[in-house]
Amino acid sequence: MKRVAVVTGGASGMGLSICHHLARRGHQVAVMDVDGPAVRRACAELRAAGARALACEADVTDRPAVEEALREVRAGLGPVEILVTSAGLVAFDSFTDITPESWDRVLEVNLTGTFHCVQAAVPDMLAAGWGRIVTISSSSAQRGSPGMVHYTASKGAVIAMTKALAREYAGFGITVNTIPPSGIDTPMSRSSQAAGHLPGSEVMAKAIPVGHLGTGDDIAAACAFLCSEEAGYITGQVLGVNGGAVI
Ligand SMILES: NC(=O)c1ccc[n+]([C@@H]2O[C@H](COP(=O)([O-])OP(=O)(O)OC[C@H]3O[C@@H](n4cnc5c(N)ncnc54)[C@H](O)[C@@H]3O)[C@@H](O)[C@H]2O)c1
């Protein structure tokens, strides 16, 4: 079955890889991201690869913008059947340095942004009696990473939200799963390395049992499977894609 997929944070990193993997499986892909030029570049790449792609420039924290983007998806491609929420904001601060504003912003993008997108998309899935939702959380929530309590709390809440959503919609043909990545080479991790918040790739690789960083494609392959017909009996699961870093 060819489906209509929306990928938030789809203009960069693992979101962009997820767009390509879903497109290669024949799905139509709406790329939703706050970075307009990057959205348009991503769509051009997808179309050049033969996919049907729609550019949706939207900030996931802006509920009216999310609603408008989904109206464009319905008009341009059809009702939303697959939603992947990869838009995210990372932050590094020692606990006592986290300002209330920074706390709110991280929660707003990572948690409330996920809430807006799922709530706006789920009526289409309920109407169809079929849906796939994959949230991108983080291994930091599994480990309890120091120096990023705001980020870790937001991603832990995404994992909890995923499980609750899975139970709420299990009887309606909708599965809801989360992938908590770790050590994935993306623009986000590179900028965190450049700012000195994360060690260099060689040092990071030594802490990963498989001995190297992961790629967006590693996340995208797992995500595309969770979005497939065959994954219909998998819901509420936390599928670590982390080179064995969290077992
Ligand atoms: N890279 C890693 O190792 C790693 C590890 C754990 C979790 N994650 C999570 O994976 C997800 C993807 O991260 P990535 O590494 O691909 O990063 P990335 O920076 O390459 O991509 C994130 C995308 O999200 C978009 N975005 C940010 N805020 C947005 C907003 N308010 N509205 C819409 N779009 C917004 C950005 O413009 C960007 O295109 C994030 O949720 C991140 O927290 C990444």
For residue 247, being part of any structural domain is answered with no
Paired residues of 8 in beta bridges: 32, 85
The question of whether 151 is a catalytic residue gets the answer yes
CB 162 within 8 A of CB 110: no
Q: How do residues 100-156 score in pLDDT, each as one tens digit?
A: 999 999 999 999 999 999 999 999 999 999 999 999 999 999 999 999 999 999 999
For residue 243, being part of any structural domain is answered with no
Which CATH number goes with the domain that contains 140? 3.40.50.720
pLDDT in the model for residue 129: 98
Determine the atom of ligand 1 nearest the C-alpha atom of 61.
31
d(CA 18, CA 88): 15
CB 47 within 8 A of CB 53: yes
Cα 11 to middle of ligand 1, angstroms: 9
d(CA 75, CA 47): 18
Q: Residue 1: pLDDT band by 50, 70, 90 thresholds?
A: confident
Closest C-alpha among 39, 132, 46, 124 to residue 78: 124
pLDDT over 70, % of the chain: 100
For residue 239, being part of any structural domain is answered with no
d(CA 136, CA 159): 9
For residue 201, being part of any structural domain is answered with yes
Q: How do residues 188-236 score in pLDDT, each as one tens digit?
A: 999 999 999 999 999 999 999 999 999 999 999 999 999 999 999 999 9
Domain containing residue 153: 4-231
Average pLDDT over residues 40-57: 98
For residue 95, being part of any structural domain is answered with yes
Q: Which is it for strands 28-33 and 4-8: parallel, antiparallel or unpaired? A: parallel
pLDDT in the model for residue 204: 97
Tokens of 223: 């995500």
For residue 214, being part of any structural domain is answered with yes
For residue 53, being part of any structural domain is answered with yes
Q: Structurally, how many domains does the chain consist of? A: 1
Hey, whose CA ends up nearest to atom 2 of ligand 1? 184
Cα 138 to middle of ligand 1, angstroms: 11
For residue 109, being part of any structural domain is answered with yes
